Structure 1
Amino acid sequence: MPSLTKKMKRTGAGLRAVAVSAAAASLLGALTGCVRLDTTTPSAARADSSATTQARFGTVDCRQAKCIALTFDAGPSEHSARLLDILKERQVPATFFLMGKGHIDKYPDLVKRMADEGHEVANHTWNHDRLTELEPEEIREELERPNKEIERLIGQRPTLMRPPQGRTNDTVHEICRELGMAEVLWSVTAKDYLTKDPALIHRRVLAQADRDGIILLHDLYDGTVPAVPGIIDALKKRGFVFVTVPQLLAPGRAEAGKVYR
């Protein structure tokens, strides 16, 4: 498990929770708790839909294009403004799974900017607690509090969430269903919580990237945002088109209570 940096210690309990929990993030069997996890792929979500139209970014149709989704957890952070600059320069949409304590409440203007610039704003809980270790009412509080703050800031409630560590179970599924939220995991992880080396983060993403991939990064770590321009440029050269998670699933829609990866 990675040791905490001085910066993380200064940032408070929310970031400490991210750093402590992230070390297990690539082990999806452990991440999802003790239950067998049924997930839906983007291609399956598209195939199951009877819709004839879809959400788009430009003229993207992921039934035809080689799409990939760039996602960032546990922001906003001090690095988010630069990240948004990069995404705007390269005309790349992303999905931001935002954390409440020390993030949404600290950087409200960045939450607004994310929405204003066409990114998908989603939920990563308030305190980054392991939902599988909480009582049902505590799970609801962890999800509802950031939902309310995000809605207050951008006028829209999130319909997507990512459970901390990817840990989820039937209770989490049911509460997400009640709250109208789908769970989104990932298929590509750079383990950017273990390194400050942008070149290493770049290589790890490129080694795992494939069509319909969902890339997990964290913009709060020092090495991540510097790696993003190279990741975008390299994947574009391979023919990938960047989309948000809802665009990746379109013309299907993320269904509340389901898990997508």
Structure 2
Amino acid sequence: MPKQISAARRTSMAGLLTAAALALGGCATYDVTAPADARADAPAAAVKAMDARLAAAREAKNGEGAGGKTGRTGGAEVDCRTAKCVALTFDAGPSEHTDRLLDILKREKVHATFFMLGAHHVDKRPAEVKRIDAEGHELANHTWSHRILTDIEPAAARREMSRVQDAVRRITGKTPKLMRPPQGRTDESVSAISKELGLAQVLWSVTAKDYATEDPALITKRVLEQTERDGIILLHDIYRGTVPAVPGILKELKRRGYTVVTVSQLLAPAKPQPGMVYRP
């Protein structure tokens, strides 16, 4: 029997499936939900637990005054049910630009989700992977070699995802819970493999197409034009023009009242469900 889903989720699914059919030239079927729907459908126990963490965080902050601690991944101090949140994500690193990006994020007290590539990135830059984790950012999977998962056999798709899982776990002791399929291309088979591996799939609503320009001003303009509440911003920490754009993006987002969060913070009190596709 098909799984029951909310009306809001069915609407979101219909929109995504239409987009997928247009992009792929065929029909793709898989579960999909938007961040707001995920939060609304969170189990009562998860809601209660988050409310308790928020209350404890407020109490601790009041006790610490202006020197209170900032939120970390999964952050109890951020409540996107009430805050105007947007998730910041970076694909395809780490690279020679990642340390500079991490310096900026640390200075701005912002946490992001890093969808990392395995070959020539995770395997070549374990120090950056460790730093991403140590500074409270979210570790996520972007496959081993950026092969289009819908174009390869299921066994090959499983290797593309599982090799990153294994490599990140060896480096940090943690296993990613999120995966972004290359080019956003997924289907029922990819979703089933993701579910087996404990990976939720995360697409996006904002893209600067920073792979096609090195102009930080243009990257900034594109991001700000597209960003709305509950959005997921896609950038890459491998291109020369991207990291210089980040300070301006963050400054303007904050001026507009946005709280910049990780993907898991955006979904909380819900937890990412393996196999599910999340997209605003």
TM-score of Structure 1 vs Structure 2, range by shorter chain = 0.7 to 0.9
1:207 counterpart = 2:225: yes
RMSD in angstroms over aligned alpha carbons? Answer: 1.5
Which amino acid in the other structure matches residue 79 of structure 2? Answer: D
Instruction: Name the counterpart of 2:267.
Output: 249
Structure 2 residue ranges without an equivalent (≥5) = 1-18, 51-72
Between Structure 1 and Structure 2, the one with more helix by share is 2
Give percent identity, aligned residues only. Answer: 58
Q: Deviations over 1:150-191 (max 9, x none)?
A: 001111111100000001111000001111110000010001
Evaluate the alpha carbon distance shift between residue 239 and residue 115 of structure 1 in structure 2; reply closer, same or farther with a 3 A threshold: same
Instruction: Name the counterpart of 2:216.
Output: 198
Structural mapping, 1:67-216, within 5 Å: 67-216=85-234
TM-score using structure 1 length: 0.87
| Alpha-carbon distance, 1:31 to partner | 4.9
Structure 1 moving runs of 4+ over 2 Å: 27-39, 53-58
Instruction: Name the counterpart of 1:39.
Output: 32
Q: Deviations over 1:118-146 (max 9, x none)?
A: 00000000010000011111011000001
* 2:80 and 2:265 in contact (8 A); partners too: yes
Measure, in 1, the Cα distance between the counterparts of 2:203 and 2:100.
25
Length, aligned pairs only: 235
| Alpha-carbon distance, 1:210 to partner | 0.6
Q: Name the larger-Rg structure.
A: 2
| Alpha-carbon distance, 1:28 to partner | 5.9
Measure, in 2, the Cα distance between the counterparts of 1:30 and 1:142.
25
Specify which structure has the bigger relative contact order, considering alpha-carbon pairs within 8 angstroms and separated by 6 or more residues.
1
Which amino acid in the other structure matches residue 34 of structure 1? Answer: G
| Alpha-carbon distance, 1:59 to partner | 1.8
Instruction: Name the counterpart of 1:24.
Output: none
Evaluate the alpha carbon distance shift between residue 31 and residue 91 of structure 1 in structure 2; reply closer, same or farther with a 3 A threshold: farther
